[in-house]
Amino acid sequence: MANTMQLETLRRIVQEVDASPSLHEALDVMVNQVAEAMDADVCSVYLLDERNHRYVLMASHGLKLEAVGNVSLDTSEGLVGLVGQREEIVNLEHAPKHERFIYLPETGEEVFNSFLGVPIMYRRKVMGVMVIQNQESQHFSEAAESFLVTLCAQLSGVIAHAHVVGNIDVFRKPSSGPSYQTYQGVAGADGIALGRAVILYPAADLNSIPDREAEDISIELELLGKAVFAVREDIKNLDAKMQDSLMSEERALFSVFLRMLDDNALPAEISALIREGHWAQGAVRRVIEKHVNIFAQMEDGYLRERVSDLKDLGRRILAHLQTADTSHKEITEDTILIGEEISTAALVEMPIGNIAAIVTTEGAANSHMVIVARALGIPTVVGVTELPISTLDDAEIIVDAYQGRVFVHPPRRLRTRYKEIKKDEDQIAKDLKQYETKSAITPDGVAMPLFVNTGLMIDVVRGVQRGAKGVGLYRSEIPFMLRERFPGEEEQRAIYRQQLSHFANKPVVMRTLDIGADKDLPYFSIEEENSALGWRGIRFTLDHPEIFSSQIRAMLKASIGLNNLHILLPMITSVSEVEEALYLLDRDLSAVQEEEQVKITRPKVGIMIEVPSILLQIDEFSELVDFFSVGSNDLIQYLLAVDRNNPRVASVYSHFHPAILRALTKLVKECHQYDKPISLCGEMAGDPLTAILLMAMGFNTLSMSSSNILRVRKAICHVPMTDAQDLLEQVLKLNNPLMIKSLIEHYFRTHGLADMVKSNRTVTV
């Protein structure tokens, strides 16, 4: 096959497979198309049934039909098993002569000599094996191998979509009722929740419209009629408006749109679906999807281009339908909020008490929304890439945010088990309450001051209630995110004053605006190709001294009479940035003192250690600042070169990584050598397993989400400093994050702290 042909064929197969309504149909399309494209006698797909350790023949072109769904092989059997075990291609000219060949009479395969088997891998796991066979003895070419490998890599996602760990229905014949499915994501904020799904979809996003039954068919038809009418009017107006600026051929699209909107065209198809019982939005999605798939498969490039026009038209109809619909926004008790991405701003506007859990297809454990969800104590799973959002409206769901698992339409047995676990959870939370009034002092008498991270008022309230010794990180960007414009100086002063006065007589570390990367302001979007390495934190504020100064001035004014303000600069990379920031601070301090006619104590100034360059210049920074605070969320991302928001690499992002632990150990020693206090305010401080290691390293304070304070305090009250130091010494000798984690877990399990080990609170299914 020529390369361009291959590409074209690959693209077509992947599109057809994507468009298939079920896994069974997708697999049929796959085997038929591949057999045709490769001119092979047989193409089969075997999927791994993990519970039974068998490869099940799920689809085949060329083998006997009766064998499909009925033939299976143990994972250690046959050539299929060999491909799975080796996780690599097996290419044989005379398969029956191979020692692993097993004769399966049900398949009628004795007549096939050549064999090419390719593993279907998804996130390092074997999902199944694709096999090509021919009667003629031949060694398959390298081109054939790479065609199949490429195809399997692309198709593995589709298979995973239905077959994700534990999706037992894959191995049953398709049934009509809702089926139990399990999805794997990344654990965000701990906890267990049972409830019903409410889908939060961005306005006019066709893909995320759920299937739903129409409550009243005539109302849905009427809504559609009005929406189509409105879109027609919009298009006519657009056409008229563009008359002077677009040529008539360019405006031809508008008449295409109007023809598509003719009563006998798309609206007729959509109405037919509504009459079958679909709600209008779902019917629009289905009809547009159907046409998009047909267009996408066309060989003609011009027609393929029309796909985006069709989608555009669909979105326009949808937008009008959605303005008329408000029902999907109801967040009642025990809501499991589901969406592709949920912004921090959208989250905090909701009735928080009713949200039992959050599940998103995008994002990773330390994205901003997750940090806020954690503060609010809402179990959260993110990066559930395979979750079929549009089919989940009102579905019964269990979220196990310890394991990052989501169970859709769970069976009774699982529901009962999780209800029990939830009860235990509530009990643990009750037991932890006694630690609200205790001090974080180890059994051998070492005090470890615990601070709280804040942003919302609820953090302040919970922080005070849980006995925080101060605020170790006030994320000042959070109030900025909740507004529709940059807040003015007076507005900011009032917000900061609240934070400072709730912790009067205790230090409050206020970080200057840290936007960019995943912290977007709704009114100031920074779109960058590589935003984590881009215009963020201090880089942004030094380019906008007016924004920086209004914030500093507001902080200084808010601190009058309280004198507990500390200022923290985020994303510092170089000494010159600190010098510039200090220059602005001193200038603002003099100006505010003069304006207010009061003496204001100059706040202590610190920098966040997030960028690895700082680790090599502690001596120079020590001359400029009063304290350091490690932002481990970002430091890990930059030291390990792993995006903290990318679920695909979530397993690489670990605060147990030996490089992180070793870097921090050295860092603390060096800071103490220069007599500078050092704190850690990333999520690592809130995990009891790492908190005790940080304590052993000598961190002066730890700052964490209010939801973690009691757990960490309990750990500190139970782990003598001498034990923590021993553990640290041991883990510093290990080179594997998982081994490090299990070593500490073992200690916890054997020292009365088993309830702090997350894996103790989960169900294995």
Smallest distance, ligand PEP to C-beta of residue 632, A: 5
- Closest CA relative to residue 295, chosen from 314, 267, 272, 273: 314
Q: Are 223 and 212 in contact (CB under 8 A)?
A: no
732: number of Cβ within 10 Å? 15
Using CB under 6 A as the criterion, what x/- string covers residues 143-182 for binding ligand PEP?
----------------------------------------
Q: In what order do the strands lie in the sheet with 405-408?
A: 181-184, 405-408, 396-400, 192-199, 335-339, 355-360, 380-382, 186-189
**Could you list the residues that contact Mg ion (CB under 5 A)?**
610, 631, 634
**What SS3 class is residue 91?**
strand
Are the beta carbons of 118 and 89 closer than 8 angstroms? Answer: yes
Minimum Å gap between C-beta 633 and Mg ion is: 5
**150, exposed or middle or buried, with CB in 10 Å at 0-12, 13-18, 19+?**
middle
Which one, 368 or 462, has the nearer CB to ligand PEP? 368
Q: Which two tokens stand for residue 23?
A: 């896994």
- Taking CB under 6 A as the criterion, which residues in 23-82 touch ligand PEP? none
Nearest-approach distance from CB 45 to ligand PEP, in angstroms: 43
β-strand pairing of 405-408 with 396-400:
antiparallel
Q: Which is nearer to Mg ion, 321 or 678 (CB)?
A: 678
Collect all residues with Cβ–Cβ distance below 8 Å to 384 and sequence separation of at least 6. Answer: 183, 184, 185, 359, 360, 361, 404, 406
Is residue 631 near ligand PEP by the rule CB under 6 A? yes
> Residue written as tokens 């549009």?
390
Spatial CA neighbour of 664 closest among 721, 618, 710: 618
> Residue 514 CB, nearest distance to ligand PEP (Å)?
6
Q: Which of residues 664-693 bind ligand PEP (CB under 6 A)?
A: 681-682
Write down the catalytic residue from 368, 566, 655, 657. Answer: 368
Instruction: Show the tokens assigned to 353.
Output: 């008490």
Q: Does 633 bind ligand PEP (CB under 6 A)?
A: yes
Identity of the residue, 190 or 477, whose beta carbon is nearer to Mg ion in the bound complex: 477
Of residues 156 and 453, the one with the C-beta less far from Mg ion: 453
Number of residues engaging ligand PEP in binding (CB under 6 A): 11
Kindly tell me which of 532 and 652 has the beta carbon lying closer to Mg ion: 532
Residue in the block written with tokens 């299937």: 211
Q: Quote the least distance from Cβ 553 to ligand PEP, whole Å.
A: 23
Residues 511 to 550: which contact ligand PEP by CB under 6 A?
514
> Per rule CB under 6 A, is residue 466 in the interface with ligand PEP?
no
152 in active site: no
Residue 682 interacting partner from Mg ion, ligand PEP, none (CB closer than 5 to 8 Å by kind): ligand PEP
Pattern of binders to ligand PEP over 218-247, x per CB under 6 A? Answer: ------------------------------
Q: Which helix (H) or strand (E) holds 452?
A: strand 450-454
Question: For ligand PEP, which residue of 167, 499, 632, 701 counts as binding (CB under 6 A)?
Answer: 632
Q: Which stretch binds ligand PEP (CB under 6 A): 73-81, 274-282, 387-395, 631-639?
A: 631-639
Q: Least distance in Å: CB of 631 to Mg ion? A: 4
* Whole-number Å distance between alpha carbons of 749 and 758: 11
Q: How many helices (H) and strands (E) does the chain have?
A: 25, 22
Contact (Cβ atoms closer than 8 angstroms) between residue 481 and residue 442: no
Footprint of ligand PEP on residues 473-512 (CB under 6 A)?
A: 473, 475
Active site residue 368: yes
Which of 610, 687 has the CB closer to ligand PEP?
Answer: 610
> Site residues for ligand PEP, window 339-398 (CB under 6 A)?
371
CB of residue 475 to Mg ion, shortest distance in Å: 9
The nearest distance, CB 572 to Mg ion, in angstroms, is 11
Burial environment of residue 629 by CB neighbours within 10 A (0 to 12, 13 to 18, 19 or more) = buried
Closer by beta carbon to ligand PEP, 49 or else 514: 514
Q: Does 610 bind ligand PEP (CB under 6 A)?
A: yes
Length of the chain: 765
Smallest Cα–Cα separation from 190: which of 603, 758, 719, 584? 758
CA neighbor of 78 nearest in space, from 52, 117, 120, 49: 117
> Is 634 among the residues that bind ligand PEP (CB under 6 A)?
yes
Catalytic residue among 43, 152, 671, 681: 681
Structure tokens given for 674? 């220069």
Question: Residue 681 or residue 693: which is nearer to ligand PEP going by CB?
Answer: 681
| Shortest CB 389 distance to ligand PEP, Å | 27
**Residue 183 backbone dihedrals phi, psi, to 5 degrees:** -130, 145
Say which entry of Mg ion, ligand PEP, none residue 632 contacts (CB below 5 to 8 A, set by partner kind).
Answer: ligand PEP
CA 362 – CA 45 distance, rounded (Å): 29
The entry of ligand PEP, Mg ion, none that residue 128 binds, CB within 5 to 8 Å by partner kind = none
Our CB check for ligand PEP shows the closer of 212 and 536 to be 536
Q: Which residues contact 22 (CB under 8 A, 6 or more apart)?
A: 162, 174
Question: Which element (helix H / strand E) includes 291?
Answer: helix 280-296
Cα–Cα distances (Å) from 712 to 365, 459, 495, 657, 754, in that order, read 19, 16, 28, 20, 13
Which is nearer to ligand PEP, 60 or 476 (by Cβ)? 476
Cβ atoms of residues 755 and 679 within 8 Å: no
The nearer residue to ligand PEP, 14 or 371, going by C-beta atoms, is: 371
314 near ligand PEP, judged by CB under 6 A: no
Closest of 79, 83, 45, 80 to residue 62, by C-alpha: 45
How near is the Cβ of 371 to ligand PEP at its closest, in Å? 6
User: Which one of 49-57, 137-145, 389-397, 626-634 is the stretch in contact with ligand PEP (CB under 6 A)?
Assistant: 626-634
Task: Kindly list the distances between the CA atom of residue 234 and the CA atoms of 71, 108, 313, 717, in Å, as whole numbers in the listed order.
Answer: 57, 61, 11, 66
Q: Residue 520's binding partner, choosing from ligand PEP, Mg ion, none, with beta-carbon cut-off 5 to 8 A by kind?
A: none
Say which entry of Mg ion, ligand PEP, none residue 210 contacts (CB below 5 to 8 A, set by partner kind).
none
Compute the least distance from the CB of residue 355 to ligand PEP, in Å. 21
Under a CB-based contact definition with an 8 Å cutoff, are residues 556 and 592 in contact? yes
Token digits of residue 288 = 């547009």
* Catalytic center residues: 368, 681
Interface with ligand PEP (CB under 6 A): 371, 473, 475, 514, 610, 631-634, 681-682
